[in-house]
Amino acid sequence: MVNLSVDLCGLKLENPVIPASGCFGYGKEFSQFYDISCLGSFSFKGTTLEPRFGNPTPRIAETPGGMLNAVGLQNPGVRHVIAHELPEMKTYFHKPVIANVSGFSVEEYVETCRLLDAEEQVGILEVNISCPNVHGGGMAFGTRADCAAEVAKAVRAVTKKPVFVKLSPNVTDIVSIAKACEDAGADGLSLINTLLGMRVDLKTKKPVLANGMGGLSGPAVFPVALRMVYQVYRAVKIPLMGMGGVSCARDVIEMMLCGATAVQVGAANLVNPYACKEIVEQLPEEMEKLGIRSLQEIIGGAAA
């Protein structure tokens, strides 16, 4: 019998499959399709200190091998999440969840994480540093090692929960940023976020997305995600959650071989609402085909 369980900063997961933030909401809609308790955990909708309406429409577009989105972090704000979403979540998901946190200043990150630290059901804080720094000229926190480290250090100081920093791939050297986050006290890293892309409507001769550009996700980014997880795994000693174009059980195994302890599944959920359930069900068969007895034992195998 194969062993799917993994240990993520002391959080024991029955399997490494985690729906990614932004592609699973708060889990409620998916719980109407299947019992989402079969998942290792899930990362809920990106949460900011104050409510956000998000970007103008259209803000989602299909593209070969994936999709573009410029949703703009639409969410009801952390206080609403704590008062309404988390209590309701307890009725249909009975494991610790991952709280994805966004902010536009270090102070916003700190306050949002401080509030979520008191919530028992939150097992991990996933800090998304792909947001523009309003005090730093609009440049995303995740594009500079010093800015990324500043956020990691500030959040680490206000929470007892494991802090995973979610890294942007839109950089020249993701390894230096990963190491800066580790040195600043991050317990783990999530990578990769979406790659910046765009499409043009040939009839209107204008960008398809109202925002002009958006984040590319889906199978097209999988090789890039693998490369970055592999590079970061070889450079740091903290655990990684790998993501980016994962759509089947074999992708999960490949991502783990490159260094991921757990694997997030994003856009695939929007194509097939059963995607994560099917991956969990397919993993034992794929492991047996490949002679793998325990997923925990293969982490980083390709980087050895």
Q: Is the confidence at residue 138, as pLDDT, over 80?
A: no
Per-residue pLDDT at 42: 98
Per-residue pLDDT at 134: 61
Q: Is the confidence at residue 270, as pLDDT, over 70?
A: yes
Per the DSSP assignment, residues forming a β-bridge with 140 are 132
Per-residue pLDDT at 76: 97
User: 144-187: per-residue pLDDT in tens?
Assistant: 999 999 999 999 999 999 999 999 999 999 999 999 999 999 99
Per-residue pLDDT at 140: 84
pLDDT level of residue 304 (50, 70, 90 thresholds): confident
- Backbone angles phi and psi of 183, in degrees to 5: -65, -30
C-beta separation of 109 from 138 below 8 A: no
Average pLDDT of the chain? Answer: 96
User: 9-68: per-residue pLDDT in tens?
Assistant: 999 999 999 999 999 999 999 999 999 999 999 999 999 999 999 999 999 999 999 999
Per-residue pLDDT at 130: 86
pLDDT level of residue 137 (50, 70, 90 thresholds): low
Residue given tokens 């480290």 in the structure block: 149
Rounded to an integer, what distance in angstroms lies between the CA atom of residue 296 and that of residue 29? 30
pLDDT level of residue 133 (50, 70, 90 thresholds): low
User: 180-199: per-residue pLDDT in tens?
Assistant: 999 999 999 999 999 999 99
pLDDT level of residue 136 (50, 70, 90 thresholds): low
Residue given tokens 């693998």 in the structure block: 226
DSSP collapsed to 3 states, the chain: CCECCEEECCEEECCCEEECCCCCCCCHHHHCCCCHHHCCCCEEEEECCCCECCCCCCCEEEECCEEEECCCCCECCHHHHHHHHHHHHCCCCCCCEEEEECCCCHHHHHHHHHHHHCCCCEEEEEEECCCECCCCCCCEHHHCHHHHHHHHHHHHCCCCCCEEEECCCCCCCHHHHHHHHHHCCCCEEEECCCEEECCEECCCCEECCCCCCEEEECHHHHHHHHHHHHHHHCCCCCCEEECCCCCCHHHHHHHHHCCCCEEEECCHHHHCCCHHHHHHHHHHHHHHHHCCCECHHHCCHHHC
Distances (CA, A) of 199 to 29, 213, 222: 29, 8, 20
Q: State which CATH number among 3.40.50.300, 3.40.50.620, 3.20.20.70, 3.40.50.1100 fits the domain covering 6-303.
A: 3.20.20.70
- What average pLDDT does the segment 271-284 reach? 98
- Residue 157, CA atoms < 13 Å, CB-side half-sphere: 12
Non-local CB neighbours of 81 within 8 Å, separated by 6+ positions: 44, 47, 75
Which positions are annotated as active-site residues? Answer: 131
Per-residue pLDDT at 131: 76
Q: Is the confidence at residue 139, as pLDDT, over 80?
A: no
Per-residue pLDDT at 187: 98
| Strand-strand pairing, 97-101 and 122-128 | parallel
| Cis, bond preceding 58 (omega within 30 deg of 0) | yes
Ranges of each domain in the chain: 6-303
Minimal CA–CA distance to 147: which of 139, 269, 216?
139
- Region of 218 (left: φ > 0; alpha: ψ -120 to 50; beta: rest) is left
